[in-house]
Amino acid sequence: MSNSTSPGSADRRIYIDKQSPKPYHALVQTSEAVRATAAEADLDRTVVELINLRVSQINGCAYCLDVHTRAAVRGGESAQRLGVLAAWRDTEVFTAVERAALGLAEATTEPSDGDLQESAYAAARGVLTDDQISAVIWVAVTINAFNRVSILSKHPVR
C-alpha cells in the first residue's frame, strides 16, 4: 500500500528503493550479475569502478560518487587517477582498455549523441573483446539506473 503525500511534505523525497523494494532488489541482483559478467570478460574491478565513477560524474550523482570512490580506493585506485577522471581524454594515466571502456560508458550514458556513440564503439572494437564491450555497456546501464534511483530519491552522502 502506498502512502499519499500529506500537505506540507511536497519537498520531502521518497526513497524509492525503500518505498518499492522489489524493483530495487531486482536492480541489485542485476548489478551482481553484471559484476560477474565483467569478471568473466576479464574486466578488472578497477575498470568497473572507473566506469561507475565516470557515469556518476556525468549524471551528477553525489551518492554514487561517494560509494564508488570509496570502492575504487579500497581496490587500490590512486588519488591522481581519481582526480583526473573527469578529464580522462586529456591525460595519459589510463590504459587503452580503460580509455575504450570510459568512452563506451559515456556513449551509453549520452545515447542521443550519435557521433560520440559511433566513435566510442569503433574505439572499443579496436581494444575490447565482444564480451568486454557487452560487459562495459551493462555496467554503464546499471550504474545509470542506480544514479537515477539515488538522484530522484536524494540519497544523502554521509
pLDDT digits (tens, 9 = 90+) for 90-114: 999 999 999 999 999 999 999 998 9
pLDDT digits (tens, 9 = 90+) for 137-152: 999 999 999 999 999 9
Supply the pLDDT for residue 54: 98
Mean pLDDT over the full length of the chain: 94
Residues in the chain, pLDDT under 70: 1-10
Task: For residues 97 and 50, give the distance between their C-alpha atoms in angstroms, rounded to a whole number.
Answer: 11
Q: Can you say how many angstroms the Cα of residue 108 is from the centroid of all Cα atoms in its chain? A: 10
Supply the pLDDT for residue 125: 97
Comparing C-alpha atoms, which of 104, 90, 92, 94 is closest to residue 72? 94
Class of domain 20-153: mainly alpha
Cα dist from 99 to 31, 51, 93, 107, 132, whole Å: 22, 10, 10, 12, 13
The structural domains of the chain, with segments of one domain joined by +, span 20-153
Task: For residues 13 and 5, give the distance between their C-alpha atoms in angstroms, rounded to a whole number.
Answer: 10
Amino acid at 73: V
Supply the pLDDT for residue 1: 44
Q: Are 49 and 102 in contact (CB under 8 A)?
A: no
